[in-house]
Structure formats: C-alpha cells, structure tokens
Structure 1
C-alpha cells in the first residue's frame, strides 16, 4: 500500500495523520508513506513519523518513507533517515519492502 499525503505535516495535521496511519496498521500490510507532495514538515510531523515507525517495528510490519528534497533534508538533518527507512523514490521504497 502507498499512502500519499499533501500539504503540511505539522502540529495542526499530526493528529489526523496518526489516526489515519493507526487505522491502516490494522490491515497488517507493509506500506510506503509518500511525502513527496508535503510542503512543510515540523517537529510534530517528525514525531508522528517516529511513532509510526515504532508501531510498525512492534507489529513487525514493513514500511518506508519517500519525501521530496525538502522533506528528505529535514529527516536527514535529525538523523532519522535509517530509522524511517527513507528512500529517494517510490520505486526504491517499494523494492525495499519486497526484500
């Protein structure tokens, strides 16, 4: 599954993001969080991504994150690239989940 988000992932949208992802974790399917259309990512958004990663690891679900250059730079700046399985393209993320 691929979840594509657009707009901003910040304190105002964090709750909606977490609710959506948590509801879909029940499907027990690996997924990609596509943030290539996100304009802005703040610490609340990063926190939501970290929480998602922890829940996936606990449930042994595969996941990956794809972001545009701004989002990827923010994630790498706080050294969460590996933890969030950050990939440079949707194709790379899908291949990561296949392995």
Structure 2
C-alpha cells in the first residue's frame, strides 16, 4: 500500500491499495481536462502487468467535468474488452454528475467502497 497520495497533477492526487485481490484506486482533487490523461495513465500502468478487478474511489474528488467523465467511460470500455470487473464510487456531487448523464449503470456506480468490493466479489 502506498501511504501518501502521489501527485499526478497540480490538482489531482492518487493512491493505490489492494484489498483481497481487488485494487482500490483513490483519487482526490479535480478530475478534469487537465488531469484526465494522468488519471488514465495511473490506472493503466498499474494494471498493465497484472490485470485484476478494481474500484475507482472518487469520494474525495472536488470537481468532475466532461473530460473526467470521458476518462471513466474509456476506462469502462477497456475493462469490457479485457473482461476485468470494476466499479466507481463517488461522493454525492460526483454521483449526481454521473447519474445526470445516465452513466450510473455503465460505470457500476456504488455508494461506498465496501459496496463496490461486494459487487466485484459476486
């Protein structure tokens, strides 16, 4: 487990933790046009050598724009292609944004990391 959040951009930090064979990526800050490339690279580089189910925890994200949503959609499509299970967790602001564009089911949106872990184990 990485104790401190890694600085991905000026406005985005990331952390990785493995919980019972499921990777939990936790991000804080802003997921937007300035950080979406580093967001995708952070996830891709981690899964490159050992693809396994994962959770994207956005509960500490302050701001999510259309570029951030696009990064999540691209991640979802990659997972489908590679047959890797994943789930997204968001705070009320992030969840509202995801639901507003009707991507909740597509991104397997869950309320908590625990709910996402249960979903991926089943």
- Fold-level similarity (TM above 0.5): yes
Are 2:111 and 1:88 equivalent residues in the alignment?
Answer: yes
Paired with 1:87 and 1:75, the residues of 2 have a C-alpha distance of 11
Which residue does 1:2 correspond to in 2? 24
1:1-99 aligned at under 5 Å gives the runs 1-26=23-48, 27-99=50-122
In the alignment of these two chains, the number of paired residues is: 99
Tell me by how many angstroms 1:78 deviates: 0.1
Q: d(CA) in 1 for partners of 2:37 and 2:100?
A: 23
Deviation string for 1:29-53 (max 9, x for gaps)? Answer: 1000000000000000000000000
Cα root mean square deviation, aligned: 0.6
- Which one has the bigger strand percentage? 2
Q: What TM-score comes out, normalization by structure 2 length?
A: 0.80
Q: Which segments of 5 or more consecutive residues in structure 2 lack a partner in the other structure? A: 1-22
Q: For residue 53 of structure 1, give the secondary structure of its aligned residue in structure 2.
A: helix
TM (normalized to structure 1)? 0.98
Unaligned residue ranges in structure 1 (runs of 5+): none
More helix as a share of residues: 1
Larger Rg: 2
Range with bigger deviation, 71-80 or 18-27 = 18-27
